[in-house]
Amino acid sequence: MTRITNESSVSAARAVLLGNYRSAPFVFSEGQGCRLKDVEGKSYLDLCAGIAVVSVGHCHPELTRAIAEQAGRLMHVSNLFFNDRCIELAQELVSRTPFSKFFFCNSGAEANETLLKLARRHHYEHGAKQRTTIITAQGSFHGRSMGALTMTAQPKYQEGMAPLVGDVEHVPFGDVAALRQRINERTAALILEPVQGEGGVVAASPEYLRAAREICDAAGALFMLDEVQTGYGRTGRFLAQAWSGVVPDACALAKGIAGGFPLGAVGVRPVLEKSLPPGSHGTTYGGNALACAAALAVLRIFDREKLVENAERVGTYLGARLEALAADATLPAAADARGIGLLRGISVASGFDPGAIVADIRKRGVLVSIAGGTVLRFSPPLCVTEAEIAEGLTAVEAALRAATRVATPGS
């Protein structure tokens, strides 16, 4: 019998899958908690969690059981009707967040498309048809569908995709003066990430978020948060908005919400409850019973295992360890530490190759990702322990120590 290897599986993958991803040459086939196994049986410590998605760890037995049971009872009826699991999930989210109503979809991009449409349609419904401008921040990431891509203010993602959606503007992230200058009677909404995840794990200051809320209120514009990466416990609060106390008019969620099962959501404050009238927006799979049952199981696991609290506690430990690495004068490849809770990063100093360092960390059996081109990002399952973080950082430190300066032109 031919042995399945990573190499043969990668060749098989490249033969049939489009080349739009830069997937590393690992093929995983099993997971448990914070560990993944590749097709050759080699185990890895997963500090990436499918980019902040696998919130309760791989194959949590309660989540697995909930999905299996729901699959045997009811999966999908479409939004021509209601289903019981969708109602229960919305009730749970209403009780845990500042939002009074929810809309469900299937991904982060879809949730952000919803924010965009919700903002424009809200003003249209209120007779302010000139309010169509959507403002987002430079360095942001909101997804890859055309609306979300236009909101994503990073040219590399937009290359070759023009024409983009009209009337979307970008401001420098963290710059209050720019908000004052740009938000006006034509602005439909300002949409920000509390921490720019893909942009390099860059946190907005509470003062910036408070100023943003005030400026939007004064101008009659909506203020919305994209919590696709930061939401659902990732930063040590159920939503990252809790750190600043700033309540947006609407908020996008996805990633960790169903522990790996595709689901997105938008929560709205009362002001927006009537802004998407019947027929104005929708998606076939949105709020299907199977995805909602998975999300309900995730919430039960959060409560019983105190995973949001764990994200804060272990996240503080991770942050302190990253600070120490960044401050270590014998590690010139490590620049600065950043992030909140279990969304953390350490930037790689210029002159070193972040891609080579991440590849070396992976060779040492630990999975982390790169954000913003130069930042080693840590977004582990929220059940990660200090011992697992310590184990992972041993590999990270070794790779940073082994990193050599890349030749720069003229050197």
CB of 5 to ligand PLP, least distance (A): 30
Work out whether 352 is an interface residue with ligand PLP (CB under 6 A).
Answer: no
CB of 62 to ligand PLP, least distance (A): 23
Q: Beta strand pairing status for 187-192 and 222-226?
A: parallel
Name residue 151's amino acid: M
- The residue among 38 and 198 lying less far from ligand PLP, judged by its C-beta, is 198
Three-state DSSP state, 287: coil
Task: Report cis status (omega within 30 of 0) of the bond before 278.
Answer: no
**HSE-CB of 5 using CA atoms within 13 angstroms:** 5
Work out whether 236 is an interface residue with ligand PLP (CB under 6 A).
Answer: no
Work out whether 141 is an interface residue with ligand PLP (CB under 6 A).
Answer: yes
CB of 152 to ligand PLP, least distance (A): 8
Q: Tokens at residue 190, please?
A: 């300002």
Work out whether 229 is an interface residue with ligand PLP (CB under 6 A).
Answer: yes
Work out whether 275 is an interface residue with ligand PLP (CB under 6 A).
Answer: no
Whole-number Å distance between alpha carbons of 340 and 139: 18
Scan residues 196-215 and list those touching ligand PLP (CB under 6 A). Answer: 197-198
One of 120, 131, 142, 362 touching ligand PLP (CB under 6 A) = 142
CB of 228 to ligand PLP, least distance (A): 3
Three-state DSSP state, 49: helix
Q: For ligand PLP, which stretch binds (CB under 6 A), given 60-68, 91-99, 225-233, 374-382? A: 225-233
- With beta carbons less than 8 A apart as the criterion, state whether 332 and 349 touch: yes
- The residue among 57 and 108 lying less far from ligand PLP, judged by its C-beta, is 108
Whole-number Å distance between alpha carbons of 308 and 230: 12
- The residue among 9 and 229 lying less far from ligand PLP, judged by its C-beta, is 229
CB of 23 to ligand PLP, least distance (A): 15
Of 360, 364, 366, residue with least CA distance to 384: 366
Rg of the Cα atoms in the chain: 22
Whole-number Å distance between alpha carbons of 69 and 343: 32
Work out whether 256 is an interface residue with ligand PLP (CB under 6 A).
Answer: no
- The residue among 9 and 55 lying less far from ligand PLP, judged by its C-beta, is 55
Work out whether 237 is an interface residue with ligand PLP (CB under 6 A).
Answer: no
- The residue among 257 and 395 lying less far from ligand PLP, judged by its C-beta, is 257
Task: Report cis status (omega within 30 of 0) of the bond before 206.
Answer: no
Please give the residue whose beta carbon sits closest to ligand PLP in the complex.
108
Write the binding mask 101 to 130 for ligand PLP: x where contact by CB under 6 A, - elsewhere.
------xxx--x------------------
Scan residues 290-349 and list those touching ligand PLP (CB under 6 A). Answer: none
Number of residues that bind ligand PLP (CB under 6 A): 15
Residue ranges in 222-380 assigned as alpha helix (H): 241-244, 289-305, 307-327, 354-363
DSSP letters of 203-248? EPPHHHHHHHHHHHHHHT-EEEEE-TTTTTTTTSSSSTHHHHTPPP
Whole-number Å distance between alpha carbons of 346 and 337: 4
Work out whether 226 is an interface residue with ligand PLP (CB under 6 A).
Answer: yes
CB of 174 to ligand PLP, least distance (A): 16
Q: Residue written as tokens 């950043």? A: 338
**CA 185 to centroid of chain Cα atoms:** 31
- The residue among 240 and 395 lying less far from ligand PLP, judged by its C-beta, is 240
CB of 112 to ligand PLP, least distance (A): 6
One of 135, 221, 254, 268 touching ligand PLP (CB under 6 A) = 254
Work out whether 187 is an interface residue with ligand PLP (CB under 6 A).
Answer: no
Whole-number Å distance between alpha carbons of 284 and 273: 21
Question: What size, in residues, is the chain?
Answer: 411
The footprint of ligand PLP (CB under 6 A) covers 51, 107-109, 112, 141-143, 193, 197-198, 226, 228-229, 254
